[in-house]
Amino acid sequence: MKFLCVECDRQMQFEERQLPGDGTLAAAFRCPTCGRVVALLTNPMETQLVASLGVKIGGTTIERQPMETVRGMVATGKPDAFTDEGERGAGSGTIWSVEAQERLARVPNFVRGMVKRIYLDYARERGIAEITPAIMDTARTELGLEEM
Ligand SMILES: [Zn+2]
């Protein structure tokens, strides 16, 4: 995962990584030329994905800094905010088994919201209360989504 400072056309350097108790992960990247900082904030499921893949964001780990510094660097925007919103609405009532959540966590980040939505729709249409890996298998076969 890399960020590019568009103005300077320079690759931003990894600066901080934090794993608070709630499973949220924050990583900051700083442009070596202009000093601009961008931060990445992921939700617990995305953090689980990153952890399960053994990915070291930025390749280096920098010494922990005081919380004030970290808070100052963490952006408030969440890249997947819209998917979470969709879930709370139409998807409420359907739960994911632990195994199903683990499986979903292995789906690449950029399509996970869509994949999740497909399974939720499938479950809701059939009155399925809990999504399990078996349900996911059945859904994939019925919907012709073998590679999800
Ligand atoms: Zn820059």
Tens of pLDDT, residue by residue over 24-72, are 667 788 899 999 888 777 666 666 665 555 555 544 444 444 444 444 3
**Rounded distance from Cα 76 to ligand 1 centre (Å):** 20
**Rounded distance from Cα 143 to ligand 1 centre (Å):** 46
pTM of the predicted model over 0.85: no
**Rounded distance from Cα 109 to ligand 1 centre (Å):** 26
**Rounded distance from Cα 8 to ligand 1 centre (Å):** 4
* CA–CA gap between residue 90 and residue 87 (Å, rounded): 6
How does pLDDT run across 71-92, given as a tens digit for each residue? 434 444 444 444 443 444 444 5
* CA–CA gap between residue 137 and residue 77 (Å, rounded): 34
Beta-carbon contacts of residue 5 (< 8 Å; ≥ 6 apart): 11, 12, 31, 33, 34, 36
Can you list the domains of the chain with their CATH numbers? Answer: 1-59 (2.20.25), 60-148 (no CATH)
